[in-house]
């Protein structure tokens, strides 16, 4: 009877399972309710940021998606209250999930920008992710959404490629519906678009000709004028420019028609709009037009006038000629100069023939640029030539290398011994500052060092190379046995450490480890002579990390910069590690701003900006006053300048934010008092600050900057 009663009190197994399932379902529902909002907000923020990439505007207003069109978002873009185009997002199933494509389309029906992928992008790394490369997305820019166009498929990425094109066609069909136009079918396809004959105006009368330097070639124009000097017809030749970008200046009639009826001088933004994605070529067309207006009319018997300006003649150098060299943008830049008894420059000849024609080559031809060096003594500074910053800096570096006094030798070079020590000769190796450091060690029967030869030829000249030449440094090792210690050479701590590691690696003791071996504390003076290497890791293109190492001079200027961009696209982002880009920072104090004092690598803006952000994050924050501190941080678009003032006990008394580079209706509001007033009265770490709606990235950047400044 007792067992039967107990069985009646127990719950059936199916009822227990049902209760467990119900509790689990409720827990999942609660979790989903909590996370759904933030996840959706994150997705919307990413979408808004993508709109800013594909079409610049002040505001993006959602519009009703037409019935039957498979798109996830459609907005009207406005600037200064005027509609400038539309942004649209569509997705299609790829290999591992949905592939989103975001387009900007201007009022002429041309694609202004393309962004592939969103927060749900999950295609295979190294395959489907190749569609995230800037060069592949740039194929869509300039395509007419009515006439259609062609893009290249990516080999081995068939499924993702089809998803991209399917999403593109869905998105552009919706834009055509809003604009009331009927497109070709399909709008986007794989392959090479058949070339159409270029429609050019027919010129009659006196024809004037002009040319100007474009992106990849000389851009030429022919034009005719009426009696008032207004342009009546124009023919543009930009055939040497980038296909699909600069070549459009000669292919799109609407671009040429802008010039008709106007008088010179003309300028981009003043009645003439540049073609999207072809700003450099568009500007060259305007310059060529201005040049043509002042040129003589063509005629069969026209005589080419001799140039009124005397051709540039390099200076003639007499006396003791000194020579120097430095790395320019794409070649070595060489200088020859003479100086007077006070070390002032009396003559200068520059050889920049290997630099970019029309840009870096001008450093050897521009008399004003050359003459600014005359009379100067080391260290020399100079104004860079516009468009030739890297080459200009190379000239300055080469001159200063000539004028810098030769370093005094700390010791006579080690003479080769007349008789090599007799013993057990062993070799070791360790990583130095920029190369492997090799040692040849002679040991006696008791493993005591009786001879040492160092090879540090691959290290920095005048610093690490001295480890192989300084007798006092080498003699420290004689008579020692494992573990070996030594005082580092001033300014060559890393190479000195490598020598110690390499020497210790040759001993037959089991517990000797090159990795674990450390240098003893060097004297304070020696450490002060070797500037610290600062490192920052930032997210760049496709979310991949780029590592930046910066060495600063005592005055806060950049002494050395190395960039590890091995994760970035070959031929694009990886160029940010090359000297042509890196040398723009050397000798400069910052803060650095892309497009102002740093030129981006072509088609690698994201990676270029990441390097700039990393360098700026490592620069010391200048104090404007005893209790006022300023920092420049990356918001959504450009640098955001944050200035915080503190009172007694570190309490914030004032905060100003310069967010003029952000979108006015989003990140720009982080400069408003409604946002900044939240910081007043707080101390580090600042908490409880509400972000500006739709500007989470900029808001967080300001908060992080304030906390960083207060911590310092």
For range 638-654, the mean pLDDT? 84
Query: What's the pLDDT score for residue 33?
Result: 55
Whether the predicted pLDDT of 367 surpasses 50 = yes
For range 571-577, the mean pLDDT? 81
Q: How many domains does the chain have?
A: 6
- The answer to whether the CB of 234 falls within 8 A of the CB of 257 is no
Residue owning tokens 């200068």: 348
Q: Which residues contact 504 (CB under 8 A, 6 or more apart)?
A: 428, 482, 483, 484, 512, 514, 517
Query: What's the pLDDT score for residue 110?
Result: 95
For range 392-410, the mean pLDDT? 74
- The answer to whether the CB of 607 falls within 8 A of the CB of 581 is no
| CA distances in angstroms from 195 to 142, 149, 619, listed in the order given | 15, 11, 51
Nearest to 453 by CA among 489, 414, 507: 414
Same domain for 51 and 18: no
- The answer to whether the CB of 536 falls within 8 A of the CB of 562 is no
Query: In terms of pLDDT, which residue wins out, 463 or 619?
Result: 619
The answer to the question of residue 60 being in a domain is yes
Q: Tell me the pLDDT band of 113, cut-offs 50, 70 and 90.
A: very high
What values do phi and psi take at 366, rounded to 5?
Answer: -85, 110
Same domain for 285 and 212: yes
How far is Cα 457 from Cα 471, in angstroms, rounded to an integer? 16
Same domain for 79 and 186: yes
Same domain for 444 and 370: no
**Residue 268's domain is classified under what CATH number?**
3.30.390
For range 696-707, the mean pLDDT? 85
Whether the predicted pLDDT of 304 surpasses 60 = no
Whether the predicted pLDDT of 138 surpasses 50 = yes
Q: Are strands 82-93 and 98-106 parallel, antiparallel or unpaired?
A: antiparallel
Same domain for 224 and 161: no
Which of the listed residues 471, 497, 528 is the one where a domain comes to its end? 528
Give the 3-state secondary structure of residue 660: coil
The answer to the question of residue 314 being in a domain is no
Q: Tell me the pLDDT band of 434, cut-offs 50, 70 and 90.
A: confident
The answer to the question of residue 542 being in a domain is no
How far is Cα 612 from Cα 594, in angstroms, rounded to an integer? 7
Whether the predicted pLDDT of 305 surpasses 70 = no
How far is Cα 292 from Cα 208, in angstroms, rounded to an integer? 6
686's tokens: 């600042």
How far is Cα 438 from Cα 468, in angstroms, rounded to an integer? 10
Least confident of 59-63, 94-98, 440-444: 440-444
The answer to the question of residue 200 being in a domain is no
Q: Tell me the pLDDT band of 569, cut-offs 50, 70 and 90.
A: confident
Same domain for 26 and 96: no
How far is Cα 201 from Cα 654, in angstroms, rounded to an integer? 61
Query: What's the pLDDT score for residue 490?
Result: 64
Count CB neighbours of 600 within 10 A.
17
pLDDT in tens, 176-190: 999 999 999 999 988
Same domain for 260 and 384: no
Q: What's the CA dihedral at 570, 575, 576, 579 to 10 degrees?
A: 150
418's tokens: 């007349």
Q: Tell me the pLDDT band of 622, cut-offs 50, 70 and 90.
A: low
Whether the predicted pLDDT of 318 surpasses 90 = no
Give the 3-state secondary structure of residue 204: coil
How far is Cα 111 from Cα 277, in angstroms, rounded to an integer? 10
For range 467-476, the mean pLDDT? 85
Query: What's the pLDDT score for residue 183?
Result: 92
Alpha carbon 651 to chain centroid, angstroms: 36
- The answer to whether the CB of 490 falls within 8 A of the CB of 523 is no
The answer to the question of residue 16 being in a domain is yes
Query: What's the pLDDT score for residue 409?
Result: 42
Question: What is the per-residue burial (b if ≥16 Cβ within 10 Å, else e) of 406-445?
Answer: eeeeeeeebeeeeeeeebeebebbbebbebebbbebbbee
Percent of the chain with pLDDT over 90: 20
Which of the listed residues 403, 436, 463 is the one where a domain comes to its end? 403
Same domain for 73 and 50: yes
pLDDT in tens, 579-606: 888 888 888 888 888 877 888 876 677 8
How far is Cα 190 from Cα 98, in angstroms, rounded to an integer? 20
For range 322-334, the mean pLDDT? 84
Q: Which residues contact 127 (CB under 8 A, 6 or more apart)?
A: 95, 156, 157, 160
Whether the predicted pLDDT of 509 surpasses 70 = no
Strand partners, 87: 75, 104
Percent of the chain with pLDDT over 70: 82
Least confident of 43-52, 143-152, 489-498, 555-564: 489-498
Nearest to 241 by CA among 261, 262, 215: 215
How far is Cα 90 from Cα 451, in angstroms, rounded to an integer? 72
Query: What's the pLDDT score for residue 519?
Result: 39
Q: Tell me the pLDDT band of 85, cut-offs 50, 70 and 90.
A: very high
| Total residues belonging to the chain | 712
For range 431-449, the mean pLDDT? 84
Whether the predicted pLDDT of 413 surpasses 50 = no
For range 211-222, the mean pLDDT? 87
Query: What's the pLDDT score for residue 144?
Result: 93
Whether the predicted pLDDT of 462 surpasses 80 = no
**Residue 635's domain is classified under what CATH number?**
3.90.1010
Query: What's the pLDDT score for residue 411?
Result: 43
Give the 3-state secondary structure of residue 75: strand
The answer to the question of residue 707 being in a domain is yes
413's tokens: 């070079």
141's tokens: 């820019």
- The answer to whether the CB of 137 falls within 8 A of the CB of 114 is yes
Q: Tell me the pLDDT band of 328, cut-offs 50, 70 and 90.
A: confident
Same domain for 328 and 266: no
For range 351-370, the mean pLDDT? 83
How far is Cα 380 from Cα 344, in angstroms, rounded to an integer? 10
Query: What's the pLDDT score for residue 522?
Result: 37
The answer to the question of residue 605 being in a domain is no
Query: In terms of pLDDT, which residue wins out, 54 or 127?
Result: 54
| CA distances in angstroms from 405 to 399, 401, 402, listed in the order given | 12, 9, 8
Alpha carbon 463 to chain centroid, angstroms: 30
Query: In terms of pLDDT, which residue wins out, 116 or 389?
Result: 116
Q: Tell me the pLDDT band of 141, cut-offs 50, 70 and 90.
A: very high
State which of 26-35, 142-151, 354-363, 674-683 shows the largest mean pLDDT. Answer: 142-151
Least confident of 36-50, 248-262, 308-322: 36-50
State which of 86-95, 395-404, 539-548 shows the largest mean pLDDT. Answer: 86-95
Whether the predicted pLDDT of 18 surpasses 60 = yes
Same domain for 263 and 180: no
The answer to the question of residue 681 being in a domain is yes
Q: Which DSSP state fits 191?
A: S
- The answer to whether the CB of 381 falls within 8 A of the CB of 399 is no
Q: Tell me the pLDDT band of 35, cut-offs 50, 70 and 90.
A: low
Average pLDDT, the chain: 80
Whether the predicted pLDDT of 7 surpasses 70 = no
For range 437-461, the mean pLDDT? 85
Where in 47-187 does DSSP place strands (E)? 59-62, 73-79, 82-93, 98-106, 111-116, 149-151
Same domain for 60 and 47: yes
The boundaries of the domain holding residue 503 are 424-528
Whether the predicted pLDDT of 417 surpasses 50 = no
Same domain for 384 and 255: no
Count CB neighbours of 323 within 10 A.
13
Is the pTM of the predicted complex or chain greater than 0.85? Answer: no
């Amino acid at each position: 009877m007792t067992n039967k009663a107990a069985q009646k009190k127990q719950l059936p197994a199916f009822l227990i399972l049902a209760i467990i399932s119900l509790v689990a379902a409720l827990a999942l529902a609660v979790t989903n309710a909590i996370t759904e909002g933030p996840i959706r907000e994150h997705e919307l923020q990413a979408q808004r940021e993508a709109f800013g990439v594909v079409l610049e505007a002040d505001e993006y207003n959602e519009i009703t998606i037409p019935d039957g069109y498979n798109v996830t978002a459609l907005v009207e873009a406005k600037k200064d209250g005027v509609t400038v185009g539309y942004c649209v997002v569509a997705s299609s199933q790829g290999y591992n999930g949905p592939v989103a494509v975001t387009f900007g389309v201007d009022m002429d029906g041309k694609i202004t920008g393309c962004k592939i992928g969103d927060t749900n992008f999950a295609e295979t790394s190294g395959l489907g992710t190749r569609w995230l490369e800037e060069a592949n997305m740039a194929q869509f820019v300039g395509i007419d959404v009515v006439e259609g166009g062609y893009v290249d498929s990516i080999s081995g990425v068939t499924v993702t490629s089809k998803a991209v094109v399917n999403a593109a066609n869905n998105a552009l069909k919706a834009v055509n519906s809003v604009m009331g136009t009927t497109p070709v079918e399909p709008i986007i396809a794989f392959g090479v678009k058949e070339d159409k004959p270029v429609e050019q105006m027919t010129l009659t009368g006196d024809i004037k000709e002009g040319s100007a330097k474009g992106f990849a070639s000389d851009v030429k124009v022919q034009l005719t004028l009426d009696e008032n000097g207004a342009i009546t017809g124009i023919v543009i030749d930009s055939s040497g420019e980038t296909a699909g970008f600069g070549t459009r200046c000669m292919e799109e009639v609407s671009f040429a028609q802008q010039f008709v009826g106007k008088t010179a001088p003309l300028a981009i933004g003043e009645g003439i709009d540049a073609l999207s994605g072809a700003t450099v070529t568009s500007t060259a067309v305007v310059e060529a037009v201005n040049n043509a207006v002042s040129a003589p009319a063509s005629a069969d018997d026209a005589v080419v006038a001799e140039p009124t300006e005397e051709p540039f003649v390099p200076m003639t150098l007499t006396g003791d000629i000194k020579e120097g060299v430095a790395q320019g943008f794409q070649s070595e830049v060489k200088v020859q100069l003479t100086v007077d008894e006070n070390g002032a420059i009396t003559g200068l000849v520059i050889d920049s023939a290997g630099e970019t024609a029309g840009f870096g080559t001008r450093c050897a031809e521009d008399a004003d640029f050359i003459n600014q060096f005359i009379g100067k003594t080391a260290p020399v500074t100079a104004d860079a030539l516009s468009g030739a910053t890297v080459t200009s800096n190379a000239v300055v570096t080469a001159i200063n290398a000539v004028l810098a006094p030769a370093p005094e030798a700390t010791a006579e070079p080690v003479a080769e011994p007349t008789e090599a020590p007799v013993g057990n000769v062993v070799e070791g190796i360790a990583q130095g500052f920029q190369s492997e450091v090799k040692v040849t060690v002679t040991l006696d029967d008791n493993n005591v060092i009786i001879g040492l030869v160092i090879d540090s030829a691959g290290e920095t000249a005048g610093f690490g190379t001295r480890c192989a030449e300084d007798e006092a440094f080498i003699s420290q090792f004689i008579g020692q046995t494992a573990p070996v210690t030594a005082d580092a050479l001033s300014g060559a701590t890393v190479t000195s450490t490598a020598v110690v590691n390499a020497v210790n690696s040759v001993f037959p003791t089991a517990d000797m480890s090159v990795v674990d071996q450390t240098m003893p504390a060097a004297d304070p003076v020696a450490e002060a002579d070797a500037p610290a290497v600062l490192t920052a890791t930032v997210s760049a293109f496709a979310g991949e990390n780029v590592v930046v190492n910066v060495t600063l001079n005592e005055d806060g200027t950049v002494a050395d910069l190395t960039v590890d961009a091995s994760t970035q696209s070959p031929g694009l982002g990886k160029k940010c590690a090359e000297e042509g880009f890196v040398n723009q920072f050397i000798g400069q104090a910052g803060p650095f701003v892309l497009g102002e004092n740093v030129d981006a690598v072509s088609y690698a803006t994201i990676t270029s900006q990441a390097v700039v952000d990393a360098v700026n994050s490592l620069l010391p924050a200048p104090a404007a006053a005893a209790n006022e501190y300023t920092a420049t941080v990356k918001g959504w678009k450009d640098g955001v300048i944050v200035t915080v003032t503190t009172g007694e006990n570190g309490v914030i008394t004032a905060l100003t934010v310069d967010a003029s580079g952000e979108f006015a209706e989003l990140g720009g509001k982080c400069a408003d008092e409604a946002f900044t007033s939240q910081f007043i009265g707080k101390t580090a770490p600042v908490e409880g600050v509400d972000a500006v709606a739709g500007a989470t990235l900029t808001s967080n950047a300001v908060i992080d900057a304030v906390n960083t400044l207060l911590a310092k």
